Each structure stands twice: as structure tokens, then as C-alpha cells.
Amino acid sequence: MNMNFKEKVLQVIAEVCEDDVVKEEHDLDIFDAGLIDSFATVELLVQFEEQLDINVPITEFDRDTWNTPNAIVDRLNELK
Amino acid sequence: MTPYSSFLFFIILGILLLPTMILGTMGKRLRYYNVFVTIVVLAIIFSGGDAGFFSLVAFTILQVVLVKGYITYRQTKNSSLVFYVISFLSILPLILSKVLPILAVDNWASFLGISYLTFRAVQIIIETRDGLIKDQLSIFQLVNFMLFYPTISSGPIDRFRRFQKDEEKHWTPEEYKELLYKGINKIFLGFLYKFIIGYSINTYFIMNLEYIADYKFIYHLLYMYSYSLYLFFDFAGYTAFAVGVSYMMGIRSPENFNKPFISRNIKDFWNRWHMSLSFWFRDYVFMRFVFLMKKKKWIQNKMLVSNLGYILLFLLMGVWHGLAIQYIIYGAYHALMMAGFNFFETWNKKHKRWPTGRAMTIVSIVITFHVVCFGFYLFSGRPFQ
């Protein structure tokens, strides 16, 4: 897994959450921490498509398995 | 017979489920026996005449044809128009069941549970559209999911892929015993909620309210609180039965309630109240609407997009309860509250005027509780009588 990709993903998450804490704490539950809601989730999916060219269907985005920066990077790697 | 409404229903269910439970604790799952139980229970529920047995059969055939047809179509093509047409046809019986009573004609489209069953079918169509369901499903798989009897009358609304995982899972004796234990626990919680607390609030308080409250204002205020509590205990009780029986069948149906009366704001409330319904609307209406707006760049303003999404979601949720004035107003009220909170949250993120801390959390809970109770007061229809 290349680091470059991970950094890019973290950058996108940080932009959508409007908080750089996700770049430091990779196992932070972004839903529990109140950093992201359903509206921001959609923004995240749009950004993944536009910036990383990865298409994540809304129905694929399950809050239980896409809950931390690390988990999101893993899921995106699977879909790449 | 309405599910979970009488002790007779529980006794029949207990006898029917005895083999399922005994074999389950031995690590065996009897699929054919469970199908037999399903058929018997459905027959008991729908044999009453007014529950709409023939409408249920016609509805199920229609949905199976639509879902199977769409999966086959989607394997080679993906036109938006076809998706919308299929979705519309899938929702059509539900629309008819809501509109026919207004036209004062015989409501032949309706049957017990139509509102909930429609969600299960539409959800499969949407996930097929998104490419998450690719392989054709068998008629058995579809009907087994659609007509899963523990949750047929009022949910919780499960998702096909989640349901199927549990359905195919081989529970070890230890795992099944754990499920059974939890299931029985839930059923007893249901008795406490629905038949003791809910029943008492309704029988001893709400029905005697005329004699308890002298003034009109006090009457309506007490009605608001007591109806809200009754609604929770009655529905949470039903849900506990439905989820509990699901567990006994080896299916972990999703929960509907997570302490809704300690919500800190209205957004938090919708993550705690009738969750399987609100999450359905969140995932399949709100998020898809926002995604469409953003992707097509039709509306750029964030606040506007999310507020329009809330209006769409809650008005739909309102009319889903029924095409009556109280439900439409209930939907509009919650849309307004969500939009209002949306403005406040954005404003507060910038200015940080709303103090944090234990005391403020309690204040927030009390305010939210009243906002929510007033919503249920509207929902009850009492103010419009």
C-alpha cells in the first residue's frame, strides 16, 4: 500500500470534516466524535469520486465499517 | 389476528417455536421447519379477513417480478429511467393504499404491513441499482426476506444483505443460546413496556384525563406528555417483541429505539427514534437527494441543499404515516425543526455561543424533549379535533 494514497485520503477526510485531527488520530470514530454527519458523508463520497476517481455508492457506505480514517483507507483500497 | 396483541398469539408462537429453539441450542437450524412456522403464523395473522390476504399475495408477486426483472436488466444495462420506473411501480401499491381511502372507494390495495414491506422491496431495487446486489436472487430468498413474519406488521425495517448474512449463518450452540437468551429478555421487556407501562398510561391516565385536568390548557399539556410516553412504550414494546422473536429465529433484526428521550438535539433524536425508518429515509432519500444535487451541481449552497433534503425527507415520512392533516403537519414540523437546528449548528460552530458542560447538556435534553413531545402532540391529531 503506498503512503501517498493514504495521505491523499486523509487530506480529503480532513477537508470534509473541517478538522485536521483525522490526520493525527487514524482510529478516531468520526461519527462518534461528531466530525461528520449524513450530509458531510455525501460530500466525502463526491470528493472521493472527484479527487481520487473512486466511485463509492451511498448504499456501500456503512457507518459501522467506514467509521475511522484507517477503516476508510482500507475500504477505499478494496474498491480501487 | 394482529401480531403480539394477545396472549393467545404468544402461546401459539411459543409452541411453534419450541422445535426451533431446542434444535437451535443443539446447533441445528431447520430451514424447512422455519418456513412451515412462517406459513402458519402468516395464515394466523392474515386469516382475519380485514388484514388483506389477497392484496398481500398480489403485492408479493408484483414485487418479486419487479425485483427479479430489474436484477436481470441491471446485469447488462443501467438506465436511470428504468430505475425510476421500476421504483415507482414498486411504491405504487403503497401510494394506492394511501390515496384510495381519500377517494372514498374500497381500499383493496391495502393490507397489514404494506408500509413496511414496501421499504424492503424498494431497498433491494436501490442496492441493485448501486451495484451492491449483482447476482439474481431466488424467489425463496426474496419471499423469505419480504414476508419474514416477526417484523411483518410494523417493522423494524431490515436490509436484505444484512438479513441474508444472518439467514445463511450457522449458529453454534453457544451462539444460539446467547441469541435465545437475548430474545427472551427482549420479549419480557416488551411485556413490561407494552402491556404494563403503555397500557397503564393509556387506561389509567389518558382515558381519565377529562377528570384529572380542569383547564383546557392543562388537559392538552398533560395529554402531550402522556401520549408521547404512551407512544414510546407501546411501539418500543412491539419492537422488543418483533426483535426478540427474530432472534429466536436466528435473525438479528435491527433495533428501533436507543433512549430517544435523552436526545441532546433534534438531529440526535432522529438517530434514536424509530431508527430503522429514519435510517432508511436518511440512506435512500436524504443522502441520495444531496448526492444528486452535488454531483449535477444544481444547487451550490450547502445550507439550502441540506434543508431541502430535510423538507423532502420529513414530508415523505409524514405522508407515509397516512394522508391526513396531522401527519403532514407532523412532517412539516420536523422539517422545520431540523432546518432550524441546521442553521443554529452552523452558526454556533463559528461563534461558539452555546456553552458546553453538564448543566447545558441537561438543558439541551429538556428543550429537545419538549420539542419532540410537541411533535407527538401534533401527530396524535388531538389539536385538530
Parse chain B into domains and list their residue ranges: 30-168, 260-384
User: What pLDDT is recorded for position B49?
Assistant: 66
Q: How many CB atoms lie within 10 A of CB B380?
A: 19
CATH number, domain of A67, equals 1.10.1200.10
**Which residue of chain B comes nearest to A37, CA vs CA?**
B267
Question: Residue B103's pLDDT is what?
Answer: 84
Maximum distance among all Cα pairs of chain B, rounded to whole angstroms: 69
Inter-chain residue contact B306 with A39, CB threshold 8 Å: yes
pLDDT for the residue numbered B47: 84
**What value does the CA radius of gyration of chain B take, rounded to a whole number of Å?**
22
The pTM for the full model equals 0.93
Q: Is B290 on the interface with A (CB under 8 A)?
A: yes
Amino acid making up residue B303: M
The ipTM of this complex is 0.89
Contact B148, B156 (CB under 8 A): no
Q: What is the pLDDT of residue B51?
A: 64
**Each residue of A20-51: b (16+ CB within 10 Å) or e?**
eebeeeeebebbeeebbbbbbbbbbbbbbeee
Give the DSSP per-residue string, B188-202.
HHHIIIIIIIIHHII
Q: Does B161 touch chain A if contact means CB atoms closer than 8 Å?
A: no
Do B365 and B262 form a contact (C-beta atoms < 8 A)?
A: yes
pLDDT tens digits for range A2-52: 568 899 999 999 999 888 898 999 999 999 888 898 999 999 999 999 999
Residues of A in contact with B267 (CB under 8 A): 37
CB B268 within 8 A of CB B239: no
Q: Which amino acid is at A43?
A: E
Give the DSSP H or E segment for B85. Answer: helix B80-99
Sign of CA dihedral B180, B183, B189, B194: negative
CB–CB contact B309 A37 (8 Å): no
Give the span between the Cα atoms of B18 and B13, in whole angstroms.
8
What gap in Å lies between CA A55 and CA A50, rounded to an integer? 9
Closest-CA residue of A relative to B303 is A39
Query: Quick check: A46 and B291 CB within 8 A?
Result: yes
Cell of B80: 436511470
A71, B99, B111, B211, B321 from B326: Cα distances, Å: 43, 16, 22, 26, 10
Beta strands in chain A (DSSP E): none
Give the whole-angstrom CA distance, residue B363 versus residue B382. 28
What CA–CA distance (Å, rounded) separates A22 from A33?
11
> Residue B15: what pLDDT?
97
**CB contact at 8 A, B279 and B289:** no
Q: Give the whole-angstrom CA distance, residue B212 versus residue B206.
A: 9
CB–CB of A60 and B130 under 8 A? Answer: yes
Torsion of the alpha carbons at B375, B378, B382 and B383, rounded to the nearest 10: 120
Hey, is the C-beta of B306 within 8 angstroms of any chain A C-beta? yes
> Is pLDDT above 60 for A1?
no
Q: Grid coordinates representing A34?
A: 461528531
pLDDT at B30: 80
Interface A–B counts its CB contacts (< 8 A) at: 37
- Residue B285 backbone dihedrals phi, psi, to 5 degrees: -120, -65
Q: What is the mean pLDDT of each run of 10 residues along chain B (385 residues)?
A: 91 96 91 92 84 88 97 96 97 94 80 93 96 94 95 94 94 96 97 97 95 92 97 97 97 96 96 96 95 89 94 96 95 98 91 87 96 98 90
Q: Determine the pLDDT at residue B58.
A: 94
- Boundaries of domain holding A34: 3-79
For residue B285, give the C-alpha cell: 432519500
Q: How many domains, chain A?
A: 1
